[in-house]
Structure 1
Amino acid sequence: MTAEVTAASVGSESLIARYRGLICDLDGVVYRGPEAVAHAVETVNRLTAGGIRIVFATNNASRPPEHVSEHLRGLGVAPRGWSVVTSSQAAAAHLAGRLAPAARVCAVGGPGVARALTEAGLTAVRVAELGDTPVEAVVQGLGTDVTWTELAAVSYLAESGVTWVATNVDLTLPTPNGQAPGNGALVALVRTATCASPHVVGKPQPALFDLARSRLGTDPADTLVCGDRLDTDIEGANAAGLDSLFVLSGASRLRDLAFAQRRARPTYLAADLRGLLTPGLPLRITSPSYLVELGTDGVPRVASAADNGELLRSVVLTTWAARDAGRAVRDDASLWEGIERQLGLGQPDEVG
C-alpha cells in the first residue's frame, strides 16, 4: 500500500504514504463553522502538494459541494488535488439507481438536497410544490430553515409508503458555539410520528464511503479514512473495510475512544491532521512496553507532560486491554478531561 509521493512535503515514512487516497471528514477535522481547525489547512496543502488525492466526505447535506469548496478555498486550502462529496449526493445516487429518470422526489433540507437530486437526473420537489401530483421518494437532509410543515410532510409521505431516505442520522452538529441538533435529531422526530424507518446513506453506512472511493479510484486497501466521530467516521470506515485515523480535534473525545466498542475503534490515532505526516503506529498491542500503568483505582497513570503521541496511544491501548479483559476502568468525564490536559490536548472550543 505504498503511494507514489512526488514532493518532499510528504515524507515516505509518513502514515499517509502507505495509501493512495484519503477520505477526510470536514466538521471538526478541517473546520469548525467558519473557522479552520488549527494546523488543518497547512496539512491539507502539504498532502495535495505531495500528490495525495483527497475526497472530503461530509454527512452535512445542507450545502451543495461547490459551496463547501468555496468555504475551503476561503480558509486557504489550495485549489488542487481534492473534491467534495456530500450525503445528499449519496442519497441522490441511491435513488437514481432505483427510479426512472426525472422521477419526482420530495426534497427536505438545505439547498444541497435539491441540487444533488437535480444533478442525478431526478426532479426535486419542495414541500410547498407538492400539490396533488405524487412523488416516488422523499429525501430528508439537514437544513437550518426546516419547518414543522416540512417535517410533517415527511411523516405523511413515509407513513403512506413512499420511499424515505435520510441523508444521515448524526444527532449533533458541531458549531462555533457548541453542539447543535443534527439531521438525526430531526429524523428522530419524524420516526416518533410514524411506523416507518428511513434508508440511511450517510456515515456510518457504506454508501458515502463507496461514492468517495469511486471519486478517488482506489481499492479499499489503498484508502484511508480520517475523522473525528467514532460513531460515524470510524465505525463507518470499519464497516466499509477501510483503515482509519481518528483525530481528537472535534466531537468525540479521548474518553469516548477509551470506552469505544470494537466496531468503533480506529486503526490509528492523532491529536489532529498532522498525524497523517508522522509515521503512525497502528492501535494494537504488540508488546507490554506500549502500555502505561493502570492504577488499582482504574485510572491510567499519565506523566504530567505533553508527549509526541506515543503516550496518548499507550493510554488508549491500556484502557482497551483492561476493558477487554474485564477489568474496571473509571469513566468520569472530568478525569478523562484531566488526562487530555496532561497529554497537551486542547478541547474543541480551544481549536481555532
Structure 2
Amino acid sequence: MSDETAVLPGRADPLIASYRGLICDLDGVVYRGATAVPHAVETVTRLTADRVPVVFATNNASRPPEHVGDHLRALGLAPGGWSVITSSQAAAAHLAQRLTRGARVYAVGGPGVAQALTEAGLTPVRVAELDDAPVEAVVQGLGADVTWTELAAVGRIVDGGACWVATNLDRTLPTPYGRAPGNGALVALVQTATNAEPHVVGKPQAALFDLARSRLGSEPDATLVCGDLLHTDIAGANAAGLDSLFVLSGSSRLRDLAMAERPLRPTYVAADLGGLLEPGLPVLASPAADLLELGPDGVPRLPPTAGPGAENNAVLQAVVATAWAARDAGRTVSGDVGPWKDIERRLGLARPS
C-alpha cells in the first residue's frame, strides 16, 4: 500500500491501523463450516474498504483457491481487496524454484494439489499415470479420496530419490461430525514405510506466510497474522517474525491461551475478528497496574463489573497477561478447564455447544 492509502495509527485508532496487510486464517476465524463467524464478514469488508489488503491463508490443500473464494462470497464477503492462498500453492512455488519448467511431479490429494502444480508450470502426475518415466518430486496433500495405492506409491517414489513435499502436517481437521485424520496422519502413515522426511510448507512453517506476504507486498513489521490455533497460526507467525492476533472464535479456548509457552504466544488477543477494529495493546506490553490478582484457585480474579460489553477485549487481555506473568514468575496457574470456562462465560466468550 502507498502512504496515501494506508490506515495511519493514532492514539485511539484500531489495532489494524498499525499494519499494512493482514494474513488471515479461515476455519474458526472467518467461518465454521457453512456458517460465518460473528463479526468476521463485516470486519473484512471494513478492512478492504479502507484499502487494507487481506490474504486468506489455509493449510487445506484439497480445494483450489477459487472454490474457497466461492465459499467466502456465499457468506456475504464482497469481491475485491482479498485473495486466497493454499498450502498446495506454497508447495508448488517451492518446487517451481528448484525444478525445470514442465517437470513431472506426483500429485497426491484433492484437486487443489494438481491445479497448483499446473499453475506453477509443472506437470502433475496422478497414480494411474505413473509409468517408466520418472517423476522428480512428490507433493502430498489432503484429499477425501486418497487411497492406499497412492500412499504406497509416495513411499516407493521417495525411496527412489524424489523430493518429497508435504503441504502440511496437521494430524486432524475439523468436520461437521467431529475431528477426522488430517494430512499429517497420512504423511505419518507413509513414514512407517520409508526413512525419508518430507519438506513441509504449510503452517507453522514460514513458506505459506512468505507467499502470503509477497502477495500483500508488505514488510514483516507491517504484516499482521490472525488465527485461532496456537500451534499453527501463532507458532508460524512467531517463526516468520510477524505479529499475530489470536481469536477465541475457533477450537482453541482461553485455557489453552493462558497456558501457552512463549513460542506459542500471540501479540494480541480478541474474542473474534472484530478486535481488529478496536484499540489494541500487545499483551506482553500490558502495564503491571492492569494485571489482575491471581486467586487461590490459580486463575485470575475478574473485576466485579466484568462482563460482556465494550470492555470485553481489555479484560480478556488482562486475564491473559496475568496468567503469563504468573507462569513466567514460577507461580502455579491452574490447568483445570472449569475455571477458565467460567471466565469465558462471564465475558460472553463461551462457544455455543
Is 281-290 or 99-108 further displaced after alignment?
A: 281-290
> 2:130 — aligned with what?
130
Q: How many Å apart are 1:68 and its aligned residue?
A: 0.8
- The answer to whether the aligner puts 1:38 opposite 2:42 as a matched pair is no
Matches within 5 A, 1:263-302: 263-302=263-302
- 1:58-137 alignment to 2 at 5 Å? 58-137=58-137
In structure 2, the residue matched to 1:261 is 261
Identify the residue that residue 322 of structure 1 maps to in structure 2: 326
Which digits, 9 at most, give the CA deviation of each residue in 1:129-185, with x for residues without a partner?
A: 112221111101111111122122212222332211000111222233333222112
Structure 1 residue 12: Cα displacement: 7.4
Partner of 1:18: 18
Cα shift at 1:252:
1.8
Measure, in 2, the Cα distance between the counterparts of 1:279 and 1:244. 15
CA distance in 1 between partners of 2:181 and 2:265 (Å): 25
- State the SS of the aligned residue for 1:294: coil
1:332 matched to 2:322: no
Corresponding residue for residue 241 of structure 2: 241
Name the structure 1 match of 2:346: 342
Q: SS at the partner of 1:105?
A: strand
1:32–1:175 Cα contact (<8 Å) kept = no
Q: Distance in 1 between matches of 2:173 and 2:30?
A: 14
> Deviation string for 1:270-301 (max 9, x for gaps)?
01000000011111144222211112232222
Distance in 2 (alpha carbons) for counterparts of 1:333 and 1:12: 34
Indicate the SS of the match to 2:312. coil
The letter of the residue matching 2:184 is: G
SS in 1 for 2:54: strand
Task: Give the Cα separation in 1 of the matches to 2:325 and 2:23.
Answer: 29
Distance in 1, Cα, partners of 2:282 & 2:101 = 45
Cα distance in 1, alignment partners of residues 260 and 96 from structure 2: 36
Shift in alpha-carbon separation, 1:104–1:278, aligned structure 2, 3 A: same
- Name structure 1 gaps, 5 residues minimum: none
1:6 shift after superposition: 7.7
Aligned match of 2:307:
305
Gaps of 5+ in 2: none
Matched, 1:170 2:185: no
What TM-score results when the alignment is normalised by the length of structure 1? 0.93
Of the structure 1 ranges 118-127 and 149-158, higher mean CA displacement relative to structure 2 is found in 149-158
After TM superposition, the score normalised by the length of structure 2 is 0.93
For the structure 1 residues 193 and 123, does the alpha-carbon distance in structure 2 shift closer, same or farther, using more than 3 Å as the test?
A: same
Q: Does the 8 Å CA contact 2:6/2:20 hold for their aligned counterparts?
A: no
CA shift digits 1:47-69 (9 cap, x unpaired): 11111111111111101111111
Aligned length: 347
Change in CA separation of 1:3 and 1:44 when aligned onto 2, cut-off 3 Å: farther
Moved over 3 A (4+): 1-7
CA distance in 2, matches of 1:228, 1:133: 43
Tell me, what secondary structure is at the counterpart of 2:174? Answer: strand
Letter of the 2:231 partner, please give it: D
Partners in 1 of 2:349 and 2:34 — Cα distance?
22
SS in 2 for 1:193: coil
